[in-house]
Structure 1
Amino acid sequence: MDSITKAASIIIALGADVSSEIFKYLRDDEIEELSIQISKMDSITPQQSQEIMNEFYEQCVQQKVIAEGGESYAKDVLLKAFGKERAGEVMERINKNGRQVAFEFLKKVDYKTILMMIQNEHPQTIALVLSYTAPEVASKILAELPPNLQVSVFQRIANLDRTSPEVIKVVENIMLKKLGSMASVDMAEVGGIKYLAEVMNNVDMKTEKYIFDEISGTTPELVEEIRKRMFVFEDITRLDNMEIQAFIRECDTKDLTIALKTASQEISDAIFGNMSQRQQETIKTDMQYLHNIRMSDVEEAQQRIIAVIRRLEEQGTIVISKGEKDAIIE
C-alpha cells in the first residue's frame, strides 16, 4: 500500500472532526490528492486499518514527529481508532522495545580512535559525532584537528539543534559498521552554545585563543555568548586565594552583595575568607537589608563579576584551570 493510501486511511479512521483540523495544516494540492484518494476508497479491512494505525503510532512515538503532545497525542489517536484494550496492547509492545542512545558505543572508545574515525569526514559529520561525546573528549579531539577544520567544526556544533533519526543512523553506520542496525532514536538535542562552552572550558589556552580569534572575525556575538557560559559563578572555588583577592579588588561592592545573596556556603566562604574584616561586615550587613531581590538581578551581578574574572584572565592576573592541570613549578 502506497503512502497516499495509508494517509487517506488514517484520515478516515480519525473521523471528520479531527480530519478537518489536519486539513488546516496541509497545502491545497495535498488536500486535493488526499480527497481524491479518499473518494476512491470503497472499503478497507479492519486488519489493514489496524496495521496502518500501528505503523502511524510507532512513527509518532519513535520519531516524535508531533511537536506538542508527542506520545500522549499518538496514544489518543490509537484509542480513537481501536479502543482502549487494543491501544494498550500496541503501546505496551512499543514501550517494551525501548530505544537506545545514539552513538552509545563511543563511550567505550578512546578519543584517539574517535579522532581517526572522523578526521577525514565532512565537518558537519564531525560536529554531529563530537556532540555525542563527553565535553572533555570533544575538547581533546578538537585540539588535534587541523586549525582550519577546528573553526568549521566549532561553528557547526554551535548551529546544531535537532538531528533526525535517519541521519544519525547513517552516520552511526559510517562510523562503526560492525554495530549494524541500532534501535530508533528520538529527535535529539545536541550541540549548541552550552555544549561549546563546556568544550572550551577543557581545551588548552592556545586552542581557545586561535578558535575565538578566528570566530570573532565573522560572528563576534557567538564568541561573547560562549565566553559568558564558559566560567560560571560556582567556578570561583577553582581559583586560589590570591586570584580571589585580585577580582574582589576589581568588583563593585554592590555586585558582590547581590551576587552572594544566593551563593552556596562554599562560595561565600571562599569570597569572605579573602576580604578584610571591615569589608566582610559591610557586605553581610547590606545583605541583611537586601529583600525582594529578583533572581535576574542576582544573575546579572554574578555575570558582571565573571566578566571581571575573564578580563583579569586575559591580562594574566588570573589563571583559570582548564582540563587537566599543568604541573606547577615552585
Structure 2
Amino acid sequence: MARLIGKKTQVEDVKKLTGPEKAAVLLLALGEDHSGLWKQLDEDEIKEISQAMAGLGTVTAQVVEDVLVEFVAGMSGSGSVMGSFEQTQKLLAAFMPADRVEGLMEEIRGPAGRTMWDKLGNVNEAVLANYLKNEYPQTVAVILSKVKPEHAARVMTALPEDFALECVQRMLRMEPVQREILDKIEQTLRTEFMSNLARTSKRDSHEMMADIFNSFDRQTEARFIGALEERNRESAERIRALMFVFEDLSKLDPGGVQTLLRAVEKDQLGLALKGASEALREMFFSNMSERASKIMREDMEAMGPVRLKDVDAAQMAMVQAAKDLAAKGEIMLAGAGGADDELIY
C-alpha cells in the first residue's frame, strides 16, 4: 500500500519502496516522452501507481539509480525526481481523457479506502451527516447499512433527530438492495460527494498551513514563505492570502473591536500595539473611552524598548483570541484575501 497521500518525505533507501512506488519512480524518471507506457496498464494498475506517485515525495538520485540501473548515465546528472499531485495529473493527461484524469485525481485526494464504503468510513461524521441530511431517508438507510456500525452510529447522532429516526425505520424495513440501485448510489456518492470532498480537502491543506504559518514569529514566517515561493509560488500565494495576521484586525467593525478589547489583557494589548501600524493603534484607541485610551498610551510609553519576539507573541495571542471569538459567533472576521473579503454595512 502506498504511503499516505500528502505525507511528503525523502526516500533514501530503495528497500523501503513498494512495487507500485518503484514503478512510479520509473515513470517519473522517463517523463512525458514515454507516457505511452501507461497505455499498457489496466485501470486498477494506473490507480495504484498514481496513488503511489502522488504520495511519493522526493526520491534521492541514488535511489533513482538503484531502481533504474540501465538509466544511471542519464539520471545521474539530473538528480532527484519529485512525485506530486500536479506531476501525476500532468503525466496522466498525456494519454487519458480529461474527465477520467480529474475523476482519478479526485479519488486519490479523497479519503483512503479501496471501496466506496471504506472511503465513507474515513469521512468525518459531521461532514457526512451534513451531506446525507439532504438525501432521501431510503437512500441514507442504504448508505448507513453499508458502513461500519460504529461510524453509522456517529453519523446518526449528527443528523437531525426526526430525520435520523425516519432512517432507522427505513433500515428496519429494508430488503436486499438490487445491484443496479447500489451501483447508482455509489456513482452518485463518487460524483457529487467525494469529488467535492476532495476539492475541499485540497483547499483545507492550504488553510491548515496558513494556520501553522500564523503561529510562526515574523522571521520564521518570512523564511518559510520565501523558501516556499522559490519552490511553489502558487502555494505560497494561496497560503499568504489565507493567513489572518494582526494587521487584519483593522477589518473588524466597532462592535467587534470592543468585544476583542474585553477579551484581551491590558498589558498584552499594550505590548501588541507597540508593534502595530499607527492606523491600527488609532482604531483601537478610538474604541476605548478617553480615559482608558490615555492610560494605555501612557503605559505603552512607560514600557520603553520591547523585544520583537514579545510583541509577536502578544499579537499572535490577540489574533488567536479574535479567532476564538469568531468561532463562537461573537465577532465577524474578514479574511486577508483583499477587497472581496471586506465587510459591507
TM-score normalized with structure 2 length? 0.37
Q: Structure 1-normalised TM-score?
A: 0.38
| Structure number with bigger Rg | 1
